[in-house]
Amino acid sequence: MSGFYINWSGELVAFFAFAVIMIVGAVLMLTLTKVVHMVVSLAAVFLGLGGMFVVLEAEFVAFVQVLIYAGAITILMIFGIMMTHHQAVQHEPARPVHEIVSAVASILLFGILFYAIRTTEFEPSAPPLQAGVDNAMEIGKQLYTQHVIPFELVSVLLTVAFIGAIVIAKKEAE
């Protein structure tokens, strides 16, 4: 276990800034009552995660994150709310036992994960990956050489999923 000495590098400062944004957004998502406000705070979490990917030198993944999560999925959630939930206010649930059991389970899982993270020794056999240079080009090369079969399978999956979504959600013929 490392000591309490903190080296305030730029990465750590950026990490804490984005971590504060993400945790505040996630907690707000759980505590706000209007569903649209929840979606906005979830978008804050997605944007913060995109910033964290930039800190981790994964620029391509960061832009994909912003495009798909903060763009497409957030809009899709807003459409889902508009199509289903017109008053758009989350009622206060009248089941305190269920809430307490859920909270205890989540905190227990976090305790286990935190214990495992703190006690495991991660010893990299190589220096940290410097992926910042030509990140998108390297990812493209690997996608079309090593990972070409999963890549094509994902395209088939996306096509099937979107056609299926249209078929499920379209109005049935009278």
Partner 1 sequence: MLSSYLTMAAILFCIGLYGALSKRNAVIVLMSVELMLNAVNLNLVAFSKYGVLPSLTGQIFSLFTISVAAAEVAVGVAILIALFRARGVVNVDEFNEMRR
By the rule CB under 8 A, 63 interacts with partner 1: no
- Write out the binding residues for partner 1, residues 67-86 only, by CB under 8 A: 68-69, 72-73, 76-77, 79-81, 83-85
Q: Show the site string, 143-162: x = touches partner 1 by CB under 8 A, - = not.
A: x---x--x---x--xx--xx
For residues 37 and 78, is the Cβ–Cβ distance under 8 A? no
Q: Show the site string, 95-124: x = touches partner 1 by CB under 8 A, - = not.
A: ---xx--xx-xxx-xx--xx--xx---xxx
Residues 6+ apart with CB under 8 A from 34: 88, 89, 90
* C-alpha separations of 8 from 15, 22, 76, 156 in Å: 11, 20, 39, 46
Residues 6+ apart with CB under 8 A from 49: 18, 22, 65, 69
- Write out the binding residues for partner 1, residues 122-141 only, by CB under 8 A: 122-129, 131, 135, 138-139
Q: Which of 3, 5, 30, 133 binds partner 1 (CB under 8 A)?
A: 30
By the rule CB under 8 A, 24 interacts with partner 1: no
Q: How far is the CB of 156 from partner 1 (least distance, A)?
A: 11
Q: What is the DSSP letter of 120?
A: -
By the rule CB under 8 A, 11 interacts with partner 1: yes
> Tokens representing 97?
């036992």
For residues 44 and 21, is the Cβ–Cβ distance under 8 A? yes
Q: Which of 13, 27, 148, 152 binds partner 1 (CB under 8 A)?
A: 27
